[in-house]
Structure 1
Amino acid sequence: MTDGITVAIAVAAGTVSVLLALLIARAIPMLSGTPARSPTAMPAVEPIVMLFRDRRLVDATGSARTLLDALPGDGDWSKLWVWLAQRFDNPQVALEKAAADGRATLSGSSMRGASSLRLQAEDMGQGLLRLEIVDPQLGHAGITINSHSLAAMEDELSILRESVDHAPVLIWRENPEGVVTWANAAYLREVEAQMDGEVRWPLPRLIELPADAGLVRRAQIDLDQKVRWFDCHLQPGDNHRTIFAVPADEAVRAERSLREFVQTLTKTFADLPIGLAIFDRERRLQLFNPALIDLTGLPTGFLTARPTLYATLDALRELRMVPEPKDFSSWRSSIATLETEAASGHHVETWSLPGGQTYRVTGRPHPDGAIAFLFEDITSEIAMTRRFKAELSLGAEVMDAMESAVAIFDADGRLLSTNRLFEELWGAHVATTLRGFNEIWRRAAEDSPGYQALRAALSADRGEGQQKGALAGPDHALLSWRVCPLSGGRRMVLFVRAVPKATPASTRDAMGPTEARRATAAG
């Protein structure tokens, strides 16, 4: 019984002690004037304070060190100054005022979305400078962040920052006044190269782009008497614009080489008497030479306006510089045929113009679907060919009128020409060389001395002059032959019947008295 009473007394004493301790804990804040902290209350946000001595960090709060560690670049002062210059119009003013008055406060720039920030600078003497960054909106905010979400955001930020800083293009952001508010590592390197390694904010504009510039614009940078080209892609945003400057040196060199090549071709084609017109894959005129104007009469202004192939041919038709078709449908069909054949392979067409001129039009395919047309005036060539054919026809008529069978061989023994009597005597197309006819003559003369003399004459040097002889012909009639040397090593062989062939009696009966007496005397 006594033991139970003792235990009960001990439990009651312990309970009273706990209650007294709780009362004392609640009473102490009340007595000191400090409000009691709620079990769910968040700790106060640590201020961002940094202490520099001659621009070297001496001390900093935990939040300030976290900010400096997250900033890109080298050196605490440089990293902080870049960050401040992106959010304050001119932080140098705060430093100068603090040096003069001992303390200065600078508000953030509303144009840069940092109007709630304040920069407090205090000169503490002996080269010490105290900087505090204050954001009233977050001064008493208690924010709970999920650690996994924060880690994911930090990883993504690290990837984005590394990608942007290692990008082989210049990237920067400008506000509406044209002030550079942010730039990547490539841009900063270019600034360092131009400013001998000293970078100050606000950063200079390496490329001056007007406010009304298009989305893509080519610009250049002059560095150490070396010109570098960039294709600037502009991305507009709210109260800013972001510029991506892609190096375009290779493209500029390629375009310059192409222009020089085209100029060289143009100068070369300018001296050609053949008209040239090159159409691209869209069938627009890209290149032409002066000869095209001279041959076709097309105006220079019309050609420089890059007309299409159909428009060019229509203009030629109006100038009567193309063959006149029967109707318009056949004209369109001929144009389609001309384009198709020129694009698929070599196309040659002769145009007989109404004015008496003759043009040869050649179409050839070019790379990437382009086609080229060559216009050549062949009027004189056609006239010469016609005269040559007329002379050949006249020569053939003269040879056919001769009373001798004639054959002409070149220096290599190839048969060049024969007349009608030769073909009637020895046959047409029986041989094409002197060797072949030697065999025919040998068989006809049965290898007689007359044939041997003819063969020796054909083998002799042309300086010996004409040589004559006789041999038996294909009908065993006696033939007299003569070999005459010609220019260029050619030789002419003539055969004449030594005894004219007798005229049949039926033919003499049909003749008149005079013709009959001549035929009988000849027989």
Structure 2
Amino acid sequence: MVLQGIGLVLTAVLTGTVSVVLAVLALRWWDRGPGRGHRRLPQGLETSLRPTVMLFRDGRLVDATPPARALLDRLSAAEGDWTRLLQWIGPRFPDAIEALDRLDRLGRFESLGGTGSGSAALRLAVDQIEPGLLRVSITDPQAEYAGIVVDSMSQQAMEEELDLLRRSLDQTPMLVWRQDGEERVTWANAAYLRKAEAVAAEPIGWPLPRLLESPRPVPGAGTKTRRAALSHNGAVSWYDCHSHQVGDHTMMFALPADAAVRAERSLREFVQTLTKTFADLPIGLAIFDRQRHLQLFNPALIDLTNLPTGFLTARPTLFDLLDKLRELRMVPEPKDFRSWRQQMSNLESAAAVGHHVEEWSLPGGQTYRVTGRPHPDGAVAFLFEDITSEMSLTRKFRGEMALGHSILDNMGEAVVVFAPGGQVALTNQVYRDLWQTVPGSLGAALACWQAHAETGPGLQALAARLADTEGGQRGSGLIAGPQGRLLGWTVTRLPAGRQMVRFTLPDPLTLPDTAHQPALTGATG
């Protein structure tokens, strides 16, 4: 019995050992079987290695792997999955569109992508399984059997974007570089390298030289900006430098600012020239912004209005300035305050919309001309000009003119003056009473004379003498005027080509004997 028990134990042990050996052999055979050369990957990793395969029947998507569906979902919303796929294939596989039209004859088509670089170069394979049924496969030939878990679509997109960014930074005219915590240049774009090579006296090495004293960014304050200069061979180049903190490094951007510096310098010089010009003007100038605050004034404004300098430098409003002028009695004396405010409001509104001029007769006897002009962006400028002397001269001139007219009107002769073009420049009251009209031109005057006087050699001689602008300085004669009265006429040349004609009633005692001297009715020199 003991021997029989021992035999049963040995049989069980032997059977277990054989089972284990057979299980190990079976696992080895399973791993070496067809398609099982690699170990099975975890579920998430296995999903990332799925190929990009799509099945189309007559241009309609029948089936697709998850990467293929993700690709189609990222494409533009065109009509139909086949159209969307062709829009993606076209720029990446230049010869694919033409080959797809010949797929019925070829049966299979393969193409290597032309837009990727490195391991992101893609391969397109299209197989016609049966008429109308196509299988489209997109794979990475370099990573297909290398066991590398990479999404070729994403890698290609990243490399394309990286290439675009590199080209953009190398072609930009601004200087771009990166500095570490010790302000050493750790990266720079092509424009920075070209500028560094041009400035350096010898070949540059690594680390690159720092060209500009750029601003140091303040943590949490965002981008900081300052203007920096770069001198080379006596020429100075200006840049607007922007710095931005990225981790332990600082990104620097330097934009060329030479044009801005020149414009600012020209503006400063122009403002200085205007300031000097305004300072020498005898006309008071006050410029108000769109909120009607005083922005600019010149010394003449203080001299003309007696406004305190401190008051003007405090940038008062237009109405505050006008109220101050009213207190100083430097505005026309108003009847009441309401009418004064309305008058000033009208002045401001008229100056804001167009050229407006007023004359202020001040209580002190002075006369100011106030001119309002609109300026860009809603501003308005006022000019204060003392025209007291001008008004006095004008009044004096008008008085002298009135005196001259009064003297002419009280003369015993009828006087008319013709301008060089034949226009009537002047007539007196005796002339207007004699001929009962005020002619507008020489032709109208001749017509009036012919209508009211008898035609004869005297009238013809008068017309001939007026027409002869190159004749003598003086001519005279006799005509039979209105109501048969005998009139003596005299033509006198005046400066600037003017001619004066005088008609007089001759003294009967001095009249010649026309019966014996008929030529006296003509002209005499």
Name the TM-score class by shorter chain. Answer: 0.5 to 0.7
SS of aligned partner of 2:455: coil
CA contact (8 A) 2:491 2:499 kept: no
Matched, 1:220 2:229: yes
One-letter code of the match for 2:241? C
Per the alignment, do residues 280 and 236 of structure 1 end up closer, same or farther by CA in structure 2, a change over 3 Å counting? farther
CA contact (8 A) 2:412 2:504 kept: no
Per the alignment, do residues 24 and 411 of structure 1 end up closer, same or farther by CA in structure 2, a change over 3 Å counting? closer
Pick aligned residue for 2:426 from 414, 417, 424: 417
1:476-515 matches, cutoff 5 A: 476-483=484-491, 486-488=494-496, 489-496=498-505
* Structure 1 residue ranges without an equivalent (≥5): 1-13, 26-36, 43-68, 71-142, 500-523
Matched, 1:474 2:474: no
Pick aligned residue for 1:168 from 169, 173, 186: 173
Residue matched to 2:304: 295
For the residues of structure 1 that align with 2:193 and 2:290, how far apart are their CA atoms?
44
1:84-483 matches, cutoff 5 A: 146-174=151-179, 178=183, 180=185, 182-195=187-200, 196-201=202-207, 204=210, 206-209=212-215, 215-236=224-245, 241-279=250-288, 288-298=297-307, 309-310=318-319, 312-327=321-336, 330-366=339-375, 370-429=379-438, 431-452=439-460, 454-455=462-463, 465=474, 467=476, 469-483=477-491
Q: Structure 1 residue 446: deviation in Å?
A: 1.5
Q: Structure 1 residue 229: deviation in Å?
A: 1.3
1:60-99 matches, cutoff 5 A: none
Residues 171-219 of structure 1 show CA distances to partners (whole Å, capped at 9, x for unaligned) of 3445566555554443344344444432333753622425669833222
Per the alignment, do residues 202 and 498 of structure 1 end up closer, same or farther by CA in structure 2, a change over 3 Å counting? closer
SS of aligned partner of 2:426: strand
Q: TM-score normalised to the size of structure 2?
A: 0.58
Per the alignment, do residues 231 and 329 of structure 1 end up closer, same or farther by CA in structure 2, a change over 3 Å counting? farther
Q: Structure 1 residue 387: deviation in Å?
A: 1.1
Residues 260-299 of structure 1 show CA distances to partners (whole Å, capped at 9, x for unaligned) of 3333444455544444445566656565555444434455
CA contact (8 A) 1:323 1:354 kept: yes
For the residues of structure 1 that align with 2:310 and 2:205, how far apart are their CA atoms?
54
One-letter code of the match for 2:365? G
One-letter code of the match for 2:453? A
Per the alignment, do residues 151 and 263 of structure 1 end up closer, same or farther by CA in structure 2, a change over 3 Å counting? same
Residues 448-474 of structure 1 show CA distances to partners (whole Å, capped at 9, x for unaligned) of 34434544665677856574x543332
For the residues of structure 1 that align with 2:486 and 2:293, how far apart are their CA atoms?
75
For the residues of structure 2 that align with 1:403 and 1:24, how far apart are their CA atoms?
151
Residues 234-257 of structure 1 show CA distances to partners (whole Å, capped at 9, x for unaligned) of 435555553322211111112222
Residues 492-519 of structure 1 show CA distances to partners (whole Å, capped at 9, x for unaligned) of 41333768xxxxxxxxxxxxxxxxxxxx
For the residues of structure 2 that align with 1:210 and 1:19, how far apart are their CA atoms?
70
* Structure 2 residue ranges without an equivalent (≥5): 1-17, 30-37, 46-117, 120-147, 509-525
RMSD: 4.4
Residues 357-405 of structure 1 show CA distances to partners (whole Å, capped at 9, x for unaligned) of 2233334445555554443332222111111111122222223333433
CA contact (8 A) 1:285 1:308 kept: yes
Per the alignment, do residues 479 and 161 of structure 1 end up closer, same or farther by CA in structure 2, a change over 3 Å counting? closer
Residue matched to 1:31: none
Q: Structure 1 residue 166: deviation in Å?
A: 3.6
Answer with 149-158 or 16-25: which moved more. Answer: 16-25
For the residues of structure 2 that align with 1:227 and 1:382, how far apart are their CA atoms?
57
For the residues of structure 2 that align with 1:391 and 1:495, how far apart are their CA atoms?
25
Percentage of matched positions with identical amino acids: 53
For the residues of structure 2 that align with 1:24 and 1:463, how far apart are their CA atoms?
143
Q: Structure 1 residue 258: deviation in Å?
A: 2.5
SS of aligned partner of 1:475: helix
Answer with 471-480 or 145-154: which moved more. Answer: 145-154
Per the alignment, do residues 327 and 455 of structure 1 end up closer, same or farther by CA in structure 2, a change over 3 Å counting? same
Residues 89-111 of structure 1 show CA distances to partners (whole Å, capped at 9, x for unaligned) of xxxxxxxxxxxxxxxxxxxxxxx
One-letter code of the match for 1:444? H
Q: Structure 1 residue 445: deviation in Å?
A: 2.6
For the residues of structure 1 that align with 2:161 and 2:420, how far apart are their CA atoms?
90
For the residues of structure 1 that align with 2:248 and 2:24, how far apart are their CA atoms?
63
One-letter code of the match for 1:385? T
For the residues of structure 2 that align with 1:410 and 1:202, how far apart are their CA atoms?
86
One-letter code of the match for 2:482? P
Residues 299-327 of structure 1 show CA distances to partners (whole Å, capped at 9, x for unaligned) of 56665666655555455445444434445
Q: TM-score normalised to the size of structure 1?
A: 0.58
For the residues of structure 1 that align with 2:493 and 2:195, how far apart are their CA atoms?
87
Residue matched to 2:82: none
For the residues of structure 2 that align with 1:20 and 1:434, how far apart are their CA atoms?
139
For the residues of structure 1 that align with 2:461 and 2:160, how far apart are their CA atoms?
110
SS of aligned partner of 2:176: strand
Per the alignment, do residues 440 and 21 of structure 1 end up closer, same or farther by CA in structure 2, a change over 3 Å counting? closer
CA contact (8 A) 1:361 1:374 kept: yes
